[in-house]
Structure 1
Amino acid sequence: MTAPLRDLTGSRDQTGSNDLTETPGAPGASDPLGSARAQLWNDVRDGDEIGAIRTVRAAVEAGNAFESVLLDLIAPVQARVGVEWAANRISVAQEHAATAINDRVITLTADVGVPDPDPAQRRGRITVACVDGEWHALPARLLAEVLRLRGWQVDFLGAHTPTPHLVRHLHQQVPDVVALSSSIPTHLPVAHAALTACQAVGTPVLVGGAAFGPGGRYAKVLGADAWAADARDAADLLDQGLARPDVMLHQAVDDLPHLIDQEYSMVARTRGELVKEVLGELEQLFPPMARYTVQQRRHTAEDIAHIVDYLATALYLDDAGLFTRFLDWTADILSARHVPAHSLLLALDVLGRRLSDFPRATRVLNTAREALAARPESNRTGESV
């Protein structure tokens, strides 16, 4: 596994969808922003910030509502950034630059053709934040801008908001709702703690983001008050109002009784040891690793760490499908970089032996291994790791 899997956490999506975006369609008569999307994609791909600002401002000045510009122009182009990176058609640096440009474009365009909100139409106060460890703030930023357009007073806390700071903010500002965003499934245990803490002070929690799974399945599992597929759905849902939760103190095991077996805790606590042990056994099973550079060894260790993190999350949710989807997506990433997808199988075998006394972990690993082995390229010969 010498492809840069350490960059997987920088992707837009690992589940096939994004909370605020969709892949842009072809321009057409019924798609007034189609041509602008094509141009904005060219701008951000080429790192042309001035061109991107010009493209988006022109769309606003042409009479398109700013909400539509945000969600039908900027958001789909951002989704395409992730798709193109996953397909190995743009680099990590290009992906980061494109995201930064889109963020700047929002800031520098918000004052063009956007009327000042009418205080008489103020709907309430909402806090929008990314969960602790979540650095992909653009989806949450788009939601914050849409809610401002809809008349909400928005406190946008940005990326990586530690739960204690979030709760302190709730006590100080007393918003009507908290909207939490997370793109990476491995942040779900932290998201669970955050939403539980918010509910404990009587604030309802709306969640969104690819981390919450297809159809928002994990939002319900974790006890969120509501889930929205995208910013429009979120704004529409908030227009209807969310009831304040009953203030109560409870632990994760109250929502997820399977955690009583301690498998999640054991895997999460011994993450570093597992990575070290798996790496050491791989070195014995695969002699070419002796020729790896220091950087290659570090990358391989990071790859294994990602696998362990996703396994732990699958155990937290008791959902083998989460782990299988991650590995299937990872196999696609590896294939796009000409690394055989079956290179993951050896790592799963070693990890399985290390966790043979853990029934749920064994089931999750076996399910994922069977899915990977069924991929056509898994029968090919090639380098194993």
Structure 2
Amino acid sequence: MTTETMIARPDLADVRERLWAALGARNERAAAEAVFAACDAGAPLEDVLLDVIGPVQARVGAEWAAGRMSVAQEHAVTAIQDRVISALAHRTPPDLPADRDTPGTFRRHVTVACVDGEWHAFPARLLAEVLRARGFAVDYLGAHVPTPHLIAHVHQSATDVVALSSSLPVRLPTAHAAVTAVQAVGIPVIVGGAAFGPDGRYARLFGADGWASDARAAASLLAGGLGPPRQAMADPDHHLPHLLDQEYTLVSRARIQLTREVLEGLEAKVPAMAAYSDEQRERTAEDIAHIIDFLGASLYVDDPELFTGFLTWTAGVLAARGVPNSALLGALDLLADAQHDFPRAQAHLTAGRRALTRVPAQAPGLHA
């Protein structure tokens, strides 16, 4: 009779709490030790990346949105997480198959990048490391990769497929351009990230060759292989006929002017704004600019739900600063006045107003 010794894998919930505590103390050594110990105890690298580090980073974002973590604190914690990922990658190298240069063998080569203007690189970084751990050859280009530079890299490398990441829907027009440009040079493109919708609806709208809800799904999709890229549409207006009304273009081009007009209008509507500090006024202008950006993105894909989702999320963030829903509603009314000749914009703004009226009212206040 043979007795096999079973080694229990660590409780990843406990590892997450240890990592969270270490990050809260800005203790990089303790953060690294928490994830190293999990790997040493038998947790697969992929599980540590996606079931420990990833969820903890999501918690960081939630704390920032709730006003319990400053931008500087969020950046510091993210930097520690990024260095921990690097240390993990060097500490536990994958058992790679032979490269394409070895006769009779082939290792799929993936370029992972964030679309132009997308600075939230953490999800792309996790994907790159998961792919490396699974034996792919990976070029990780990081955040904010201008499309011409991405195309130049594809031409200069042995890339078989490009994986594009975008978290912010305001980058969807740029993402569409990148998908089209990469496909035009004969390389298939998969996309992922919150920008493309929870069901990948915008990936399908843009004709991407694949969409993945998370890094595991992306790795599985790539492992299954992709065919040749879909035929890229040279003219996005032909692929997205609603763009022919020019509403997206006109709203985007007027962004600065609209921001100024709405800010001035709010100052007239909301007496409390007379007491705003310069910082509070600047933050309000940023909020208005974001509203306009998301309105533009929703017009680009012709989906009011994109706009309403952003508004309800923003209402929660502003509530943490003590800003009532009435301020957002006032901004929408002023935008509607400025967009009276744009029927689609009017419809999206009306949908946004309906969504906000369903959000519980907050006590009046100023920016925190």
Q: Scaled by the length of structure 2, what TM-score is found?
A: 0.92
Shift of the alpha carbon at 1:288?
Answer: 3.5
Who is 1:53 aligned against? 32
Question: Can you list the C-alpha shifts for 1:225-273, whole angstroms capped at 9, x where unaligned?
Answer: 1000111100001011111125545121122110000000000011111
Which structure is richer in relative contact order (CA contacts within 8 A, separation 6 or more)?
1
Report 1:1-385 matches (<5 A): 32-119=11-98, 122-377=106-361, 382=364
Question: Can you list the C-alpha shifts for 1:267-292, whole angstroms capped at 9, x where unaligned?
Answer: 00111111111112222223443333
Structure 1 unaligned runs (5+)? 1-28
Tell me the secondary structure at the aligned position of residue 119 of structure 1.
Answer: coil
Judged with a 3 Å threshold, the aligned counterparts in structure 2 of structure 1 residues 113 and 293 are, in CA distance, closer, same or farther, namely closer
Asked if structure 2 preserves the Cα contact closer than 8 Å seen for 1:129 and 1:179, the reply is yes
Asked if structure 2 preserves the Cα contact closer than 8 Å seen for 1:327 and 1:368, the reply is yes
Asked if structure 2 preserves the Cα contact closer than 8 Å seen for 1:36 and 1:55, the reply is yes
In structure 1, C-alpha distance between the alignment counterparts of 2:312 and 2:180, rounded to whole Å: 31
In structure 2, C-alpha distance between the alignment counterparts of 1:179 and 1:35, rounded to whole Å: 32
Tell me the secondary structure at the aligned position of residue 376 of structure 1.
Answer: coil
Could you tell which deviates more after superposition, 347-356 or 86-95? 86-95
In structure 2, C-alpha distance between the alignment counterparts of 1:375 and 1:342, rounded to whole Å: 11
Question: Can you list the C-alpha shifts for 1:140-172, whole angstroms capped at 9, x where unaligned?
Answer: 011111111111111111100000000111111
Q: Scaled by the length of structure 1, what TM-score is found?
A: 0.88
Q: State percent identity of aligned pairs.
A: 57
Asked if structure 2 preserves the Cα contact closer than 8 Å seen for 1:122 and 1:153, the reply is no
Structure 2 unaligned runs (5+)? 1-7, 100-104
- What is the letter of the counterpart of residue 364 of structure 1? H
Who is 1:20 aligned against? none
Asked if structure 1 preserves the Cα contact closer than 8 Å seen for 2:164 and 2:192, the reply is yes
In structure 2, C-alpha distance between the alignment counterparts of 1:183 and 1:333, rounded to whole Å: 17
Could you tell which deviates more after superposition, 328-337 or 188-197? 328-337
Question: Can you list the C-alpha shifts for 1:187-240, whole angstroms capped at 9, x where unaligned?
Answer: 001000001100111111100001111211111111111000111100001011
Asked if structure 1 preserves the Cα contact closer than 8 Å seen for 2:323 and 2:366, the reply is no
The RMSD of aligned alpha carbons is: 1.9
Tell me the secondary structure at the aligned position of residue 342 of structure 1.
Answer: helix
Question: Can you list the C-alpha shifts for 1:72-95, whole angstroms capped at 9, x where unaligned?
Answer: 111111111112222223222221
Give the number of the structure whose alpha-carbon radius of gyration is greater.
Answer: 2
Shift of the alpha carbon at 1:383?
Answer: 5.2
Shift of the alpha carbon at 1:99?
Answer: 1.0
Asked if structure 2 preserves the Cα contact closer than 8 Å seen for 1:125 and 1:152, the reply is yes
